Each structure stands twice: as C-alpha cells, then as structure tokens.
C-alpha cells in the first residue's frame, strides 16, 4: 500500500464542469486541495471554478495538445501534479449495419478512450517527477457487463484493460492507477432515460457517491483495481477471475496417450 499523499494535493479533473466530474471537483476543493477543471463547457467550468476556488482550463480531451496544456496549467499554477481524474465521457450510440454512423462512433472513442490515453500520457511525466501520484479513470458498469449503448460500452471495457495494464507499468514509479465503475448515476447522460429507469425500479446514485469512491480509492493506496459504485450497494473493488497461462511442461490429461505407461 502506498503512503498517503501530503495535502494540499494538486488534482486535475477532466470532464469536471458538471455531473460526476463536478462532484469530484467539489470533494477535493472542500478538502483543501488545489483543483484544475478541464472541460469544453466554458460557462459551467468557469462558474464551478469561481465557487470552489479552482482553476478552469478549456480542454478538448480528444486533442493531445489540450491534455498537455491542462497538465501544464496545473503545474505552472500549483507547482506540480498529484492526482489525475480522467472522467470525461459521452454517449456512444447503437448504430449498426446500414445505420452505422462512423462519425458518432469515432467521437465516442475519441472522448471515452483516446481522451484517457492522452490524459494519462500527458500526466505521467509530472506524476513521476513528483515521486508518485494517482490516476483514477472513470469507466462504468458498462465496462464490466454488456450494455445497449454499444460503442460507449466498448470504450469503457477498454478502459478496464487500460487501467489494469497501465498499473503494471507505473507501479515502480509509485503511481497508482484505478478505475471507478458507476452504475446508474443522476447525470445528463441518464436524464433522457430517467422515466424508464424509474419505471423499472432501479436505484439511481448521486454523483457525490462516485466522488466518495474516488476518495476511498486514494485512501487505500491500492492499484490496478476497478471499483463498483451503485446506489444502495457498498463501494468495493470488482473481483476479476484468476487466469493462469498454460505451459508446455504440463502433462496432458490421463488417457490422452501422452506419457501413458500402458501405451506400448
């Protein structure tokens, strides 16, 4: 388990102008940390920065240069970088076959997957220079289970693989990498389906619950985990199955003819 980071920490939150991102911003700001809000929504981002004492940087996470600029702004203003919450996300859609929309698909991957890759790569040199830090990636339950939102789910599944694999590379530099996997949360992404959600009797979590999960992750100091976040359920890491690679020196099952002493 990693040593807890000294406060105040310098925290960058992408997609931080509203919804889950805004809840994360408020959580860190209330704890006395220095927060940078990276988002394309200038009006909401500027307002939130003003009410929380944070710094807003207009950022299109699908552009590598914008990610580098947001990180540079955090380092210039506050002297370093400790925590990066890669949270920006958009719906993906379910167009298929003749109805497939390449532009919408590309936008879903550009924000939901590429934006996390670009953000992580922009942040890593500065986290390393700090002697360690943390990356928290917002995936989804749709990153662990099938979803009607086909391309959103594909990107969120990819983020789970990215989280677990990136953790292997950053462990030696004392940088933890984890994912939060929210279920149904009261955000603009869920708003269009809210009537159907309510009719099914499904519990809807407040964005603050995801912010609590992020704080919990940082307190544990663990890495390479995907944390389930739902209303009325404990915040807990998902139990991935153990997978063992097969080896050439393992004998075959009895009766297959290999190494069978009864075989003439």
* Rounded Cα distance, 258 and 192, in Å: 60
The DSSP line for 59-102 is: --TTSHHHHHHHHHHHHHHHSS--EEEE----------GGG--H
Is the Cβ–Cβ distance between 9 and 133 less than 8 Å?
no
46, two tokens: 């500027």
The DSSP line for 21-54 is: HHHHHHHHHHTT-EEEEEES-HHHHHHHHHHHT-
Chain Cα centroid distance, residue 39? 15
Query: Is 152 one of the catalytic residues?
Result: yes
> CA nearest 29: which of 78, 72, 88?
78
The one-character DSSP state at 125 is H
Q: Which candidate in 105, 118, 151, 152 is catalytic?
A: 152
* Rounded Cα distance, 85 and 159, in Å: 13
* Rounded Cα distance, 40 and 38, in Å: 7
* Rounded Cα distance, 172 and 185, in Å: 34
**Catalytic residue ranges:** 152
């Amino acid at each position: 388990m990693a040593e807890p980071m000294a406060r105040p920490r310098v925290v960058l939150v992408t997609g931080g102008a509203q919804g889950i991102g805004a809840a994360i911003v408020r959580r860190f700001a209330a704890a006395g940390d220095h927060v940078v809000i990276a988002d394309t929504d200038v009006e909401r981002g500027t307002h939130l920065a003003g009410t929380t004492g944070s710094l807003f940087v207009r950022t299109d996470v699908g552009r590598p240069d914008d990610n580098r600029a947001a990180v540079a702004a955090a380092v210039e203003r506050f002297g370093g970088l400790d925590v990066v919450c890669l949270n920006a996300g958009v719906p993906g859609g379910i167009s298929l076959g003749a109805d497939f929309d390449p532009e919408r698909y590309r936008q879903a991957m550009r924000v939901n997957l590429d934006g996390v890759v670009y953000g992580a790569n922009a942040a890593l040199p500065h986290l390393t220079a700090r002697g360690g830090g943390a990356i928290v990636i917002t995936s989804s339950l749709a990153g662990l289970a099938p979803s009607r939102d086909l391309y959103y789910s594909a990107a969120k599944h990819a983020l789970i693989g990215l989280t677990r694999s990136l953790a292997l590379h950053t462990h030696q530099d004392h940088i933890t990498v984890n994912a939060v996997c929210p279920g149904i949360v009261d955000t603009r992404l869920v708003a269009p389906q809210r009537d159907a959600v309510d009719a099914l009797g499904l519990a809807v979590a407040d964005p603050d619950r995801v912010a609590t999960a992020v704080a919990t992750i940082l307190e544990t100091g663990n890495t390479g985990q995907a944390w389930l976040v739902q209303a009325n359920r404990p915040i807990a890491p998902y139990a991935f199955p153990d997978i063992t690679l097969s080896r050439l020196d393992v004998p075959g099952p009895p009766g297959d003819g290999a190494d069978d002493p009864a075989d003439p």
